[in-house]
Amino acid sequence: MQLPPALHSRLLGAPGAAEPLPVERDPAAGAPPFHFAARRVRFPRDHEFFEDGDVQRHLYLQDVLTQVTGSPERPRVPEFTCQVAGCCQVFDSLENYEHHYHTLHRNVCSFCGRAFPSVHLLDVHILEWHDSLFQILSERQDMYQCLVEGCAERFRSGRDRKEHLVRRHLYPADFRFDKPKRSRGPAMPGAAIQESAEALGEGEEQSGGDAMDVCPEHAAPRPEPVGERRTYGHRIPSTICFGQGASRGFKNTKKRKEHQ
Amino acid sequence: MWRGRQGRLRPVGCVVEELRCRRREREAALRKARREQQLVSKRLLRDDLLEEAEGECVAMILGEAEIQQFLQLAQRGTDEKQRERALVSLRRGLQHPQTQQTFIWLEGSMRTLVGLLTSNRALLQLEAARCLHELSHSEQSAVAEACLPATSYLLTYLSGHSSDFIELCLYTLGNLIVESEAVRRRLLPQGIVPALAACIQSPHLTVLEALGYALSQLLQAKEAPEMIIPSVLGSTLPQHILQLLQPGPKLNPGVAVEFAWCLHYIICSQVNNALLISQGGLSTLGLLLLDVAGAVQRTEDAGLELLVCPVLRCLSNLLTEAAVEVVGGPNQLEDERVVVALYILLQFFVQKQPSLLPECLWLLNNLTANSPSFCTSLLSMDLIKPLLQLLPVSNVVSVLVLTVLCNVAEKGPAYCQHLWPGPLLPCLMGTLASSDTEVVGQSLELLHLLFLYRPEAVEAFLQHSGLQVLEKHQEEAQLQDRVHALQKTALHR
């Protein structure tokens, strides 16, 4: 197919429309037995006109048997340690480190050290577990928000919310990121560990720690301010550590008690 | 750019002919599937480099006992590395269909896997997600549907930050989506549309391509026009999609392909195309077409037809919307460069993909049908002759070419003046002699218009032995009335 040479430069030129030649139709044009009428045509999704293109599309989907994610070359790096205070995990690839960081250190609650998969869930957690104003308000109005993005429903209690999640959103009844808040018991020496055990739910299948907890052996930093109680900036970056970064345990329970 | 489609795991010594043969077989299978409305394709994400680093990559068949052992080790192993290795072994085994079957029927196995998926051990999480991904890719419905307990978590993780992990979750979701209506009836109330709408703001190209894939699978569903597209149109997805299709240095072809197909599924379902037009859909797509034609001109060949096809369809279908009918209105497509782009693409497809010529010509029809301006462009830029060169390609192409020519001719004498004298009439003698009724029929319509608005052409027609050619069809039921009418006109000039 030969194209006029000027065409290629026209593509690169300025937008514009041709000044139309005068239109002058004769009624005999569409008179029987002739029936041509200029018209735009539309095709619905399943029309056979689309068969060839659809087949090409699916061949493409199937063809991608092996795909390199991200950059084509994924360099192996010499082993390095996570820089977050108290974390001693070792990595030999940046991708694994990225995921580790985001899972354990990114959305961490500064009150209890639990890690969450998203900012949204962290915010809900802080609100419901650590905000005393929330407790007061929730006695009078529906404060428990639905966890599903896009759903604006609110509920009187965690239980009502859970029921909504199960009924309306078909969530599993044991959804890991909707643990009921545990009532404050007397701080006991083994309390932290006991909390851990409770939070497990049907815990045996879990590996040594609550889904939302930071594992003891990971020694999550505890950025607790000494002295005054902060009312803002709950999400303190975990790289900042006040006092000694320490694992959950007897020591920390005592600290918490002091500040309550 | 396009990521390497040539897998590194391509078997050594594979003959090109063998590949072509396999491809033909797959093509035939896909055609059959489409006619039966069973067109389902899944995408598999496997990390070449990862497998290479792990060494020998053979999918092993694992038995019940082995699976259980690996799961237990992954859950309760003392050593972190050991737990990871156990899951890796499981994942490798799950590449094999038989292992997949054994796995899903093993009591508690999925529950354990989901537990690992939601644990706070990042690397176990990643491996568990890879296991799920292998399962999601299965052709066996039972295997894919066994993954359902994980979906609420996969959706939750879409609002995380780890791009590799999110990409994996998206491809897994995309595979599950396409599995069955039952799966989708679960994913929709779980909030998949808002989750995707939030995730589309990610800056990572890999995430975006995966999201486009998952969304395209969702939109392709049979029940999509009633159950899915309305909520997609009601979300912020359409404007983000259009943004991602804006031509320019930031346009990523892999991402653009996925979202162009998303748009096509939305538009051809005809739910609310006016909304897309009001969001600038026509102009975005028009500019994109120009961009792609430019790339073709520069002979950048990286699979452009994959992108062109849905763009052509979107434009063609959008042009039929009432909102576009207002002449001179803001939603009109009037830039004649679109026609130029289309011709460049026609030339490209003649070489690379003749099966896409009809779709290009469909757009040309929709552009020229009601537009004196575009018809004039065809004449002023000398584009009739190239069009005629396409006549021999196929009957379908012939009919479309003749239709476009009729679009021009029916606008009156000022237009027909440029159609004759010229190469049109000799070509018409050729198409009139065709054995295909539709080709002849369209040729007769064109001839009629030519005789009407350019009577001087009749003489030339007679000199080309036109009457003899017409005679061939005077017994043909569908053609005879028109043939007789033309014979009469020619003889009574």
> pLDDT class for A75, splitting at 50, 70, 90?
low
Query: Which A-chain residues 6-35 have CB contacts (< 8 A) with chain B?
Result: 6-8, 10-13, 15-26, 28-29, 32-35
Note the pLDDT of residue B37. Answer: 75
Of B4, B26, B320, the CB nearest to A62: B26
Q: What percent of chain A has pLDDT over 70?
A: 65
Note the pLDDT of residue B58. Answer: 60
Q: Which residue type sits at A202?
A: E
Residues of chain B positioned with their CB less than 8 A from the CB of A106: 161
C-beta separation of A1 from B350 below 8 A: yes
Identify the structural domains of chain B with CATH numbers, from first to last. Answer: 191-323 (1.25.10.10)
Quick check: A149 pLDDT over 70? yes
Of B159, B261, B482, the CB nearest to A118: B159
ipTM of the prediction greater than 0.90, yes or no: no
Quick check: A190 pLDDT over 70? no
Residues of chain B positioned with their CB less than 8 A from the CB of A205: 75, 108, 111-112, 115
Note the pLDDT of residue A91. Answer: 82
Q: How far is B405 from chain A (nearest CA, A)?
A: 10
Note the pLDDT of residue B49. Answer: 54
pLDDT in tens, A204-214: 333 333 444 33
pLDDT in tens, A91-115: 878 888 888 888 888 889 999 988 8
Note the pLDDT of residue B36. Answer: 78
Note the pLDDT of residue A193. Answer: 36
pLDDT in tens, B401-433: 999 999 999 999 999 999 999 999 999 999 999
B384 inside 8 A of chain A by CB:
no
Residues B156, A1: C-beta atoms closer than 8 Å: no
Query: Which A-chain residues 217-246 have CB contacts (< 8 A) with chain B?
Result: none
Note the pLDDT of residue A66. Answer: 28
What's the whole-number mean pLDDT along residues A149-160? 92
In this structure, is the dihedral angle defined by the CA atoms of residues B200, B309, B379 and A1, taken in order, positive or negative? positive
Quick check: A203 pLDDT over 70? no
Q: Cα–Cα distance between B49 and B9 in angstroms, integer? A: 10
Question: Where is average pLDDT lowest: A30-34, A84-88, A251-255, B58-62?
Answer: A251-255
**Residues in chain B, pLDDT under 50:** 1-13
B261 inside 8 A of chain A by CB:
yes
Q: How far is CA A170 from CA A178, A179, B136, B152, in A?
A: 14, 17, 20, 8
pLDDT in tens, B317-344: 999 997 776 655 656 788 999 999 999 9
Q: How far from each other are the two terminal CA atoms of chain A, in whole angstroms?
A: 83
A65 versus A239: the higher-pLDDT residue is A239
Residues B261, A57: C-beta atoms closer than 8 Å: yes
Note the pLDDT of residue A258. Answer: 41
